[in-house]
């Protein structure tokens, strides 16, 4: 399995380039599409949460509905940023007597990958509250859910992959299954969110 993990860790560069080539509006549309896919499987996510975590519906709602709401929030926020690839940071600053001699700070997508290690009690919310703003900013993420409750995070990634909500093979999900317990599998899952497949870009490793 080591070579598969190495491949996944080496591929974010291609994913990042594709994400940065998209505008904020395009990345917002991508997040909205992901949200619609996840909403369509909401009932199944409740079942998984109860089976895996033992939570009642009201407790599961905090995690699942909270995560989906957060994802939708960033999708709507991205729409307000429009079809731009960079944002202005503050007002221009004059550097001399000549008003033409000014500087302007710009906000651009950072180069690199966001590595997220999440807690056991919020497998959904912990995933999307961090992944959504990073992806909207043009930065791919690698997410390591807690092993004990990784089933829900893995299933969400699988659903996004199956529906291709964000392009060709938008999510790289590597699963290493531990021994089965009496009722549920304990899943170790690393999610590489390659939502950057856009146009002629292909994030395949």
Among 85, 137, 86, which residue's Cα sits nearest to residue 114?
137
In a domain, 106, yes or no: no
In a domain, 88, yes or no: no
In a domain, 143, yes or no: yes
In a domain, 103, yes or no: no
Model pLDDT for residues 83-136, shown as the tens digit of each residue? 999 888 888 888 888 888 889 888 888 888 888 888 889 999 999 999 999 889
Output the DSSP codes for 110-169. Answer: PSS-EEEE--TT-TTHHHHHHHHHHHHTT--EEEE--GGGHHHHHHHHHHHHHHTTTSSS
Model pLDDT for residues 157-183, shown as the tens digit of each residue? 888 877 655 554 334 433 332 332 223
Given this model, what pLDDT does residue 13 score? 67
Instruction: Give me the number of domains the chain comprises.
Output: 1
CATH number at residue 47: 3.40.605.10
The model's pTM is 0.72
In a domain, 3, yes or no: no
């Amino acid at each position: 399995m080591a070579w598969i993990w190495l491949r996944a860790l080496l591929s974010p560069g291609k994913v990042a380039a594709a994400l940065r080539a998209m505008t904020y509006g395009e990345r917002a549309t991508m997040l909205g599409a992901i949200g619609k896919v996840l909403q369509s499987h909401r009932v199944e996510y409740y079942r998984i949460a109860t089976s895996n975590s033992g939570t009642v519906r009201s407790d599961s709602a905090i995690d699942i509905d909270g995560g989906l709401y957060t994802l939708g929030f960033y999708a709507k926020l991205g729409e307000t940023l429009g079809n731009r690839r960079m944002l202005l940071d503050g007002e221009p600053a004059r550097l001399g007597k000549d008003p033409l001699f000014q500087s302007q700070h710009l906000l651009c997508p950072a180069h690199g990958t966001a590595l997220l290690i999440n807690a056991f009690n919020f497998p959904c919310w912990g995933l999307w509250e961090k992944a959504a703003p990073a992806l909207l900013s043009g930065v791919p993420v690698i997410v390591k859910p807690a092993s004990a409750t990784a089933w829900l995070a893995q299933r969400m990634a699988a659903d996004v992959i199956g529906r291709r909500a964000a392009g060709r093979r938008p999510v790289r999900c590597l699963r290493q299954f531990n021994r089965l317990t009496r009722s549920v599998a304990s899943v170790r899952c690393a999610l590489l969110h390659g939502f950057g497949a856009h146009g002629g870009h292909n994030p395949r490793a």
